[in-house]
Structure 1
Amino acid sequence: MRLPSLVAAAALALGAGVSAHAQDTEVTLRFQHFVSPNSANPKYFIEPWAEKVAADSNGRIKVEIYPFMQLGGSATAQYDLIRDGVIDGGWVIPGYQPGRFPEAEALELPFMTPKLGEEASMAAWDYTQEHLLDDFADVHLIAAHMHGPGLIHKKGPAVREVDDLKGLKLRGPSRPATLLLRKLGAQPVGMAVPAFPEALSKGVVDGGVITWEMSPSLKLDELTDSHTDVAGDDALYNLFFIWAMNKDSYAKLPDDLKAVIDANSGMFASAWAGRAHDTGDADGRAAMVASGNEIAEISPEVTEQIRALGDDVTAEWIEEVTAKGLDGAKLVDDANAAMDRYRGTVTK
């Protein structure tokens, strides 16, 4: 056999060996989040997502899920833990690092999102593709999503008027949320969700804004007395999340396993994550009703007063980020347009 033929045969054999090895590759990926495994996103999205990835890979990808930041670090540092390869992946709230991802804040402005997390999440994925890929370029993005409606949980009677909020120390999860609380006359306290129950029990805060679905796992039936939503179909506020993977952990996967992750990413995964929050909201609200706590909705008239103050927050946000070199008005317009594409598309 001539030398070129020998080389070709050796290369073919080597390629076949590599291909066979790739098909036999099994990997374990360690993902973590910062809440109870009984919370809506872990229960209805994260754990089922891990199970689906395992099934779709015929067991060759095992995704281990660690709640309560069991692999170390803090919820506020989760993005960097993924970026730096301390963990293979996890659930991130970009707003836990105020000012780092300013373009994402447009999604969190007052009354920006519909109350269905699935609709808001599909819009968030579109907006992410348009504006946030550079922001998250140092991780491998799997999903971008929102939760359901954020509402006010507090000790004492439900909120009926704007003045009922004046002077209250209220936990807020993000910069837009704290800007709104301040505009409403409250004293906002920026705080990651794991710290909220202890802050309530010690009287550090009088209450805070968060979803129905987180209420049971945070024991808000015991730590607060009332739960108040605004009238209408739009959420008082919302929060933006990503489900992401370390870039090197993804890059090391053989192509067929990358394809499994890809098939469980994007709009499909984002809508699924939002839908998980909607399911959890129904569970959480039912638990708070069963506890006997006061469940209230602010009147349409007072909701309009709050919306007007929210519009002031949005205008001030546009001015602020524009001064920093971003086109704030376009970001808000594009976020609104994305929400409008999906508003009313999901049947409850």
Structure 2
Amino acid sequence: MKLIRIAAAALGALGALSGAAQAQEYVFKLHHFLSAKAPAHARMLEPWARRVEANSGGKVKIEIYPAMSLGGKPPELIQQVRDGVVDLVWTVNGYTPGAFPRTEAFELPGVFLNDPAAANVAMRRMFDDELSKDYDGVEVMFLHVHAGQGIHMVDKLVRKPEDFAGLKLRIPTRTGAWAIEALGAAPVAMPVPELPQALSKKVVDGALIPWEIIAPLRLQQQTRYQIEGHDQTRIGTTTFQVSMNKARWDSLPDDVKKAFRDASDEDWLREVGRIWRASDDAGIALAVSAGNEHVVLTPEETDALLAALEPVQRRWIEEVSARGIDGAALIARARALMAQNASR
């Protein structure tokens, strides 16, 4: 009798597995550039994927492939999803400079200051009328920013614009490169996984990047100073997208589309802002515990830094206007919506 019960239980388990496999009618591959240990993977992408699956009633399975494990380099992610090599990607817009010009308004120093949740919601509300033209070939699940570009320095403390003269700093976006140039330093573009080696070999003197990335890249071992403005003011931010191949999206039934949409609503975008803020707080705590110095600029020093960066906005407005884009209007709209949705 015991053997019969074991056999029955085994058959039942096999039947359940078979039923689950049959229920998962739609399997998606999501490809991204960071490790599975990164907060973005564990705290954002994994929970979002599970939300979609739950919303679908078991019809959807999202398989996440971190650290470019399906091949290629980070700047190739957007083309991979457009070509249908993968179904979904999470990528940095700035890895393909100039490809998402309207969305860049949110990256500019002096536009984004310190509120990722507000920026996420503002991008959502601007998407249909103002930003969607940036995203041919993909269906955007959601856009978001990180907590903003903090200043990480190997061994030189910088507090004033003139302190940056002659330095080399890593940045992932062209708007960030313009900020570095406005401060008299030289920008060095590279995907974030390459940063630890660049810092250790002094290829760069520092980097503009959030505190969140300190733990997965062990930046506390490569740097001495983490610097930000008063009230967590940052030198702009970086925009990201989670997007699906457009043809794959168009082939889906309405109930599956709804599962993705419901998982990517404004409540989720606010949660993403909180996730990145919390990850940022954890990153700076790690750096301080390792003996690094967390430098917060005075209000006067912060104002001086932002004043030195004002030409970046003018440069961007002129650049996008040549492409028929009203950059000043985008900045005004972004600021207004972030103010309306402030979470701080």
Q: TM-score, normalised by structure 1?
A: 0.88
Instruction: Describe the superposition over 1:232-264 as per-residue Cα deviations: whole angstroms up to 9, x where unpaired.
Output: 354321111111111222233333222211211
Greater CA deviation, 134-143 or 177-186? 134-143
Instruction: Describe the superposition over 1:49-103 as per-residue Cα deviations: whole angstroms up to 9, x where unpaired.
Output: 1112222223221111111111112211211111111001011211111122211
Task: Return the alpha-carbon distance in structure 1 between the equivalents of residues 168 and 80 of structure 2.
Answer: 31
Matches within 5 A, 1:261-340: 261-340=260-339
Task: Return the alpha-carbon distance in structure 2 between the equivalents of residues 116 and 335 of structure 1.
Answer: 12
Matches within 5 A, 1:118-129: 118-129=117-128
Instruction: Describe the superposition over 1:215-237 as per-residue Cα deviations: whole angstroms up to 9, x where unpaired.
Output: 11111110111100011354321
Letter in 2 for 1:139: V
Letter in 2 for 1:259: K
Name the residue aligned to 1:187: 186
Contact 2:171 2:189 in 1 (8 A): yes
Greater CA deviation, 56-65 or 252-261? 252-261
Q: Does 1:90 align with 2:100?
A: no
Matches within 5 A, 1:200-279: 200-232=199-231, 234-279=233-278
Task: Return the alpha-carbon distance in structure 2 between the equivalents of residues 325 and 250 of structure 1.
Answer: 29
Number of residues paired by the alignment?
323
Task: Return the alpha-carbon distance in structure 2 between the equivalents of residues 91 and 43 of structure 1.
Answer: 13
Task: Return the alpha-carbon distance in structure 2 between the equivalents of residues 217 and 206 of structure 1.
Answer: 20
Q: CA deviation at 1:109?
A: 0.7
Q: TM-score, normalised by structure 2?
A: 0.89
Instruction: Describe the superposition over 1:259-314 as per-residue Cα deviations: whole angstroms up to 9, x where unpaired.
Output: 21121124244333222211211111111111111110122212111111221211
Greater CA deviation, 228-237 or 276-285? 228-237
Contact 1:151 1:210 in 2 (8 A): yes
Contact 2:118 2:339 in 1 (8 A): no
Contact 2:161 2:308 in 1 (8 A): no
Percent sequence identity over matched residues?
37
Give the gaps of 5 or more residues in structure 1: 1-22
Name the residue aligned to 1:154: 153
Letter in 1 for 2:143: A
Are residues 129 and 254 of structure 1, via their aligned partners in 2, closer, same or farther at CA, if it must alter by over 3 Å? Answer: closer
Q: Secondary structure at the match of 1:292?
A: coil
Are residues 315 and 290 of structure 1, via their aligned partners in 2, closer, same or farther at CA, if it must alter by over 3 Å? Answer: same
Superposed structure 1 runs of 4+ greater than 6 Å apart: none
Contact 2:148 2:238 in 1 (8 A): no
Task: Return the alpha-carbon distance in structure 1 between the equivalents of residues 39 and 118 of structure 2.
Answer: 17
Task: Return the alpha-carbon distance in structure 2 between the equivalents of residues 24 and 238 of structure 1.
Answer: 40
Q: Secondary structure at the match of 1:167?
A: coil
Are residues 55 and 311 of structure 1, via their aligned partners in 2, closer, same or farther at CA, if it must alter by over 3 Å? Answer: same
Q: CA deviation at 1:327?
A: 1.5
Give the gaps of 5 or more residues in structure 2: 1-21
Are residues 168 and 57 of structure 1, via their aligned partners in 2, closer, same or farther at CA, if it must alter by over 3 Å? Answer: same
Task: Return the alpha-carbon distance in structure 2 between the equivalents of residues 25 and 175 of structure 1.
Answer: 41
Q: CA deviation at 1:200?
A: 1.4
Task: Return the alpha-carbon distance in structure 2 between the equivalents of residues 272 and 38 of structure 1.
Answer: 19
Letter in 2 for 1:90: V
Task: Return the alpha-carbon distance in structure 1 between the equivalents of residues 272 and 123 of structure 2.
Answer: 11
Greater CA deviation, 135-144 or 248-257? 248-257
Are residues 286 and 25 of structure 1, via their aligned partners in 2, closer, same or farther at CA, if it must alter by over 3 Å? Answer: closer
Letter in 1 for 2:28: L
Letter in 1 for 2:52: V
Q: CA deviation at 1:191?
A: 1.6
Q: CA deviation at 1:24?
A: 4.9
